């Protein structure tokens, strides 16, 4: 039936006139990253306490006992040689992102994840945990009550888990102790890095910035970089120059792209996707194999054995062919898919059709399968 659906859809779409989409302008700050304005990843190893019997089993997680011993000894409690196996502690990794220009004393959010065999972090408290960056320096210290994202309940015969109780967050749970050494005010030029490199978009950014200042203050280096000359803008500082240009609106150019998710049957496409001249036909082939074994019993009072005789039935069913459906050159893929969808064609059948069109070289777009 797919071939029939496709034929009907193309007949309906034959009378559709091409529609020119009105370009949408986007703020420059949403298209680029400014040189030096970036976050830094932090990570730390710590201990969550106060759990309701859902912590690590210390026999299976010796590192939990080691960090617990170290913390207690730093607090003046001597536990050398002692054997204690509490169920209310868990070793965790704490992660956070240090935002750009964060100052000492500011607070940031922290994500906490168990690394042992703890069942849940619900209700636990993270003990003071240093957070380090890639250079090995401590930039923040985390501590606070963990808000777990799930729950679990167990009994002797069954266990129920909702969400992920072994991971949680601590809002504003870390305090910045060290600032990143970066003097933004001394920059002579600032590079604007496009999130999606494109020569046309970079040229539009260069033109828009120069038009804003009425002179040449920016220059495109490549598809992903535009350089802004701070001195040429005559701004008081680089921060003032960035504040002047970041709200300039640009109409970016986007690549023609089709993204399909085979697991969920999701199809996402851009407005610039086009299909070349191609003919498509798809039919459904069904193969059925059924097993109905027959049990044969021996005669009464005989010495025979009961045997099972296999009985297999196999059949192949194919729907009548409807011929090839021709797609005209330059047809919009969004129109074709909209027509197929209106006729009840499933997303998974659409994905098969799109993959075949791409293999034939008629789909003029980047085809991404996830």
pLDDT tens for 230-263 read: 999 999 999 999 999 999 999 988 888 888 887 7
Cα 174 from Cα 185, distance rounded (Å): 27
The predicted model scores a pTM of 0.65
Helix axes 199-213, 238-245, angle to 10 degrees: 110
pLDDT at residue 7 in the model: 44
- Residue 319: DSSP 8-state: P
**Whats the size of the chain, residue-wise?**
370
Cα 238 from Cα 236, distance rounded (Å): 7
Backbone angles phi, psi at 194, to 5 degrees: -70, 135
Instruction: Kindly list the domain boundaries of the chain, sorted by start residue.
Output: 2-21+257-369, 26-36+183-250, 40-176
pLDDT at residue 133 in the model: 93
Residue 13 has pLDDT above 80, yes or no: no
* CB of 7 closer than 8 Å to CB of 322: yes
Range from 1-5, 56-60, 70-74 carrying the lowest mean pLDDT: 1-5
CA dist list (Å): 177 to 5, 103, 139, 220: 64, 8, 5, 38
pLDDT at residue 10 in the model: 42
The whole-chain average pLDDT of the chain stands at: 78
Cα 17 from Cα 211, distance rounded (Å): 36
The predicted model gives 50-61 an average pLDDT of 77
Residue 156 has pLDDT above 80, yes or no: no
């Amino acid at each position: 039936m797919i071939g029939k659906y496709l034929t009907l859809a193309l007949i309906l779409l034959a009378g559709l006139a091409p529609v020119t989409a009105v370009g949408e302008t986007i703020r420059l700050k949403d298209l680029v990253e400014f040189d030096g304005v970036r976050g830094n990843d932090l990570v730390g190893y710590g201990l969550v306490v106060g759990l309701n019997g859902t912590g690590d089993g210390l026999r299976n997680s010796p590192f939990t006992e080691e960090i617990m011993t170290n913390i207690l000894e730093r607090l003046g409690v001597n536990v050398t040689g002692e054997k204690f196996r509490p169920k209310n502690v868990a070793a965790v990794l704490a992660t956070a992102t240090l935002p750009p220009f964060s100052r000492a004393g500011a607070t940031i959010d922290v994500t906490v994840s168990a690394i042992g065999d703890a069942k849940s972090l619900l209700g636990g408290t993270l003990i003071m945990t240093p957070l380090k960056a890639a250079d090995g320096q401590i930039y923040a210290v985390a501590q606070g009550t963990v808000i777990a994202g799930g729950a679990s309940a167990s009994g002797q015969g069954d266990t129920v888990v909702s969400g992920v109780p072994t991971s949680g967050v601590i809002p504003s749970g870390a305090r910045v102790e060290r600032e990143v050494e970066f003097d933004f005010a001394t920059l002579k030029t600032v590079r604007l890095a496009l999130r999606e490199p494109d020569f046309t978009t970079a040229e539009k950014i260069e033109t828009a910035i120069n038009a804003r200042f009425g002179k040449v203050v920016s220059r495109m280096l490549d598809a992903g970089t535009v350089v802004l000359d701070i001195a040429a803008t005559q701004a008081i500082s680089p921060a003032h120059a960035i504040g002047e240009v970041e709200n300039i609106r640009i109409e970016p150019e986007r690549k023609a792209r089709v993204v399909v998710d085979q697991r969920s049957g999701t199809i996402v496409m851009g407005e610039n996707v086009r299909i070349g001249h191609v003919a498509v036909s798809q039919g459904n082939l069904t193969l059925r194999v059924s097993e109905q074994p027959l049990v044969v019993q021996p005669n009464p009072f005989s010495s025979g054995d009961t045997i099972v005789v296999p009985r297999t039935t196999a059949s192949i069913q194919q729907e009548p062919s409807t011929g090839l459906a021709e797609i005209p050159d330059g047809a919009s893929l969004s129109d074709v898919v909209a027509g197929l969808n209106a006729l009840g064609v499933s997303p998974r059948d659409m994905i098969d059709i799109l993959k075949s069109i791409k293999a034939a070289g008629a789909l003029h777009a980047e085809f991404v399968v996830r």
